[in-house]
């Protein structure tokens, strides 16, 4: 059997590394144009009317998230146009609850973020609705909220109940963000074809075992709850750093191995980001300096460009942005640095422990499911009507998100595995470059069908009976066969694809 190696695979429509960098820069430029337009529009309004300060951050978060989400063919702009204004209204009330009724607002935040993940187990537009519901709480997590003293009597609220005008402004912010993100996607579609839809996660299994979406939601609920409690006990007003870290490592998890990898990258990247931001705010720009806002957008632009290269870069960028915002609102950066880093470690650790021990989803099962879906889509694409082309590209996108974790596994504990799981991912990328000859396509489709039958135990082709790349995929699938019986995750039951953008699809 040939061990896969050599240059990076090429897919239809794929580019060289230099071309990919150019595409990333163009996409980042359009995303930042949407973010700056949305933010600038709300800032202009704030000069004329009283707009809550959290609406400025909400405008940027919504535009950043939606401009990425609109790049997928499975995202409904109509639903976003209807629901995002409601998100803006929800953010207004959620901000008031977090400040004045924290015993209500903070548990509600944990519940909303967990339900957003739980919604991914359903089909249709429900997953998108769940992601949008979580957005106001994400925006509030990254918005510095200056402490508001209560009245001496302690009986009156620290801040007034949101007025009708404040609620309407929240809805207007949502509409503005949708318009800016849609305009950016319109420009992006003229420069490059839209990405295909993400493949469906498969039918929900019946029985006693929890499906992967419910497992992920339960893991997130426990991790966020633990981060909230420990954050208050250990870090006081800086509790949100632990909660943000726990959310980021779990929200777009692809199995427990992926969570552990992201937790390590989160700690490394976030520590670097917060140290850099602290140096800027402590020794360069004082609180309230508008250049700190400029620095936030510069860091955001750089993070958007590199977020698909390594999760550590995105984690560093997100953490630096939050630290710069804290510095703008007057937090003592040097004094807060040790607590920030400690809170990041606590949150990331809780996320990793929750994914590993609370109804875990094994990464090998996720890999097996994605490879099986990729082979199914490839078989359809090899048919005369080429019905699976978009599905193949969607699966390759999911597999590409697993590659950093798989490469890290091969460098550490998987050095002796031949072939390694990352070799199967590379092989499937190469198989997606279909032959032009019709006879070769028929033969390849026959071999793909044999490997698919082997997944369910109906065939067992010898390695020398398959093309080298298919032999590698078959060998990796055979090595993960035992996990199907043990966890209930076979060819079609893997965690639904995440699309939040906070990092893979997440604004934070």
- What would the pLDDT profile of 272-289 be if each residue is shown by its tens digit? 888 888 888 777 777 778
> What angle separates helix 212-235 from helix 239-250, to the nearest 10 degrees?
160
Contact yes or no for 195/71 (Cβ under 8 A): yes
Q: How confident is the model at residue 381 (pLDDT cuts 50, 70, 90)?
A: confident
pLDDT at 30 over 60: yes
Query: What is this structure's pTM?
Result: 0.78
Alpha helices in 251-306 (DSSP H): 256-283, 290-306
Buried b or exposed e, range 265-302, using 16+ CB within 10 angstroms: bbbbbbbbbbbbbbebbbeebeeeeeebbebbbebbbe
Which residue is associated with the tokens 């953490």? 319
pLDDT at 156 over 50: no
3-state SS string for 370-413: HHHHHHHHHHHHHCCCCCCHHHHHHHHHHHHHHHHHHHHHHHHC
- Residue 352's pLDDT is what? 94
Q: Which pLDDT tens digit goes with each residue over 190-249?
A: 776 555 555 554 444 444 467 777 888 899 999 999 999 999 999 987 888 899 899 988
Longest CA–CA separation in the chain, Å: 85
Contact yes or no for 62/127 (Cβ under 8 A): no
The C-alpha atoms of residue 435 and residue 415 are separated, in whole angstroms, by 33
Mean pLDDT, to the nearest integer, of 135-151? 59
Cis amide leading into 503 (omega within 30): yes
Q: How confident is the model at residue 356 (pLDDT cuts 50, 70, 90)?
A: very high
Q: How confident is the model at residue 10 (pLDDT cuts 50, 70, 90)?
A: very low
The C-alpha atoms of residue 81 and residue 182 are separated, in whole angstroms, by 10
Residues 6+ apart with CB under 8 A from 4: 419, 423, 424, 426, 427, 468, 469, 472
Mean pLDDT, to the nearest integer, of 340-367? 91
- Residue 14's pLDDT is what? 42
- Residue 38's pLDDT is what? 92
The C-alpha atoms of residue 501 and residue 325 are separated, in whole angstroms, by 20
Q: Which of 74, 67, 84 is nearest to 172 (CA)?
A: 84
Q: Which pLDDT tens digit goes with each residue over 439-495?
A: 898 899 999 999 999 888 787 788 788 999 999 999 999 888 754 444 334 333 333
Give the number of residues written for the chain. Answer: 508
Q: Which of 256, 237, 226 is nearest to 245 (CA)?
A: 226
Q: Which pLDDT tens digit goes with each residue over 289-337?
A: 888 889 899 999 998 888 877 777 888 888 888 888 888 877 777 778 8
DSSP state, residue 434: -
- Residue 39's pLDDT is what? 92
Mean pLDDT, to the nearest integer, of 422-427? 92
Tokens of 159: 């801040």
- Residue 9's pLDDT is what? 37
The C-alpha atoms of residue 491 and residue 484 are separated, in whole angstroms, by 8
Contact yes or no for 213/240 (Cβ under 8 A): no
- Residue 94's pLDDT is what? 75
19 C-beta neighbours (distance < 10 Å), count: 10
The C-alpha atoms of residue 303 and residue 313 are separated, in whole angstroms, by 7
The C-alpha atoms of residue 154 and residue 489 are separated, in whole angstroms, by 54
Q: Which pLDDT tens digit goes with each residue over 446-461?
A: 999 999 998 887 877 8
The C-alpha atoms of residue 365 and residue 494 are separated, in whole angstroms, by 7
Q: Which pLDDT tens digit goes with each residue over 320-330?
A: 888 888 888 77
**Which helix (H) or strand (E) covers residue 215, if one does?**
helix 212-235
């Amino acid at each position: 059997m040939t061990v896969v190696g050599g240059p990076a695979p090429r897919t239809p429509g794929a580019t060289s590394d230099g071309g990919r960098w150019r595409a990333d820069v163009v996409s980042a430029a359009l995303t930042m144009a949407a973010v700056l337009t949305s933010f600038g529009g709300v800032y202009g309004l704030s000069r004329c009317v009283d707009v809550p300060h959290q609406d400025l951050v909400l405008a940027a978060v919504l535009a950043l998230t939606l401009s990425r989400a609109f790049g997928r063919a499975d995202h409904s702009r109509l639903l976003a146009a209807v629901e995002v204004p409601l998100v803006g209204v929800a953010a207004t009330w959620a901000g008031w609850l977090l400040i004045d009724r924290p015993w209500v607002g903070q548990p509600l935040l944990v519940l909303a973020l967990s339900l957003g993940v739980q919604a991914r187990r359903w089909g249709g537009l429900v997953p998108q609705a769940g992601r949008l519901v979580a957005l106001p709480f994400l925006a509030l997590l990254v918005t510095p909220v200056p402490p508001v003293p209560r009245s001496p009597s302690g009986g009156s609220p620290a801040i007034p109940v949101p007025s009708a005008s404040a609620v309407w402004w929240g809805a207007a912010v949502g509409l503005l963000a949708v318009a800016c993100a849609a305009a950016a996607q319109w420009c992006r579609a003229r420069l490059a074809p839209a990405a295909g839809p993400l493949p469906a996660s498969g039918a929900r299994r019946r029985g006693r075992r929890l499906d992967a979406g419910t497992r992920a939601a339960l893991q997130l609920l426990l991790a966020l709850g633990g981060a909230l409690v420990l954050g208050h006990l250990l870090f006081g007003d800086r509790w949100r750093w632990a909660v943000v870290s726990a959310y980021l490592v779990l929200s777009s998890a692809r199995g427990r191995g992926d969570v552990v990898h992201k937790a390590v990258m989160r700690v490394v990247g976030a520590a670097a980001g917060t140290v850099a931001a602290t140096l800027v705010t402590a020794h360069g720009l004082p609180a309230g300096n508008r250049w700190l806002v400029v620095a936030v957008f510069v860091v955001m632009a750089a993070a958007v460009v590199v977020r698909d290269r390594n999760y550590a870069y995105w984690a560093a960028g997100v953490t630096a942005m939050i630290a710069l915002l804290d510095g703008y609102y007057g937090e003592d950066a040097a004094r807060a640095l040790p607590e920030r880093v400690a809170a990041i470690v606590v949150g990331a650790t809780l996320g990793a422990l929750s994914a590993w021990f609370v109804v875990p989803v094994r990464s090998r099962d996720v890999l097996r499911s994605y490879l099986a879906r990729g082979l199914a889509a490839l078989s359809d694409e090899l048919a005369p009507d080429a019905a699976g082309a978009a599905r193949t590209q969607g699966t390759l996108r999911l597999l590409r998100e697993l590659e950093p974790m798989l490469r890290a596994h091969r460098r550490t504990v998987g050095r002796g595995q031949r072939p390694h799981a990352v070799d199967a991912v590379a092989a499937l990328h190469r198989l997606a470059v279909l032959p032009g000859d019709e006879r070769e396509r028929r033969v390849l489709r026959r071999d793909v069908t044999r490997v698919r039958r082997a997944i369910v135990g109906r065939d067992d082709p010898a390695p020398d009976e398959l093309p080298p790349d298919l032999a590698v995929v078959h060998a990796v699938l055979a090595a993960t066969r035992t996990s199907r019986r043990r966890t209930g995750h076979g060819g079609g039951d893997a965690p639904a694809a995440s699309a939040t953008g906070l990092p893979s699809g997440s604004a934070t």
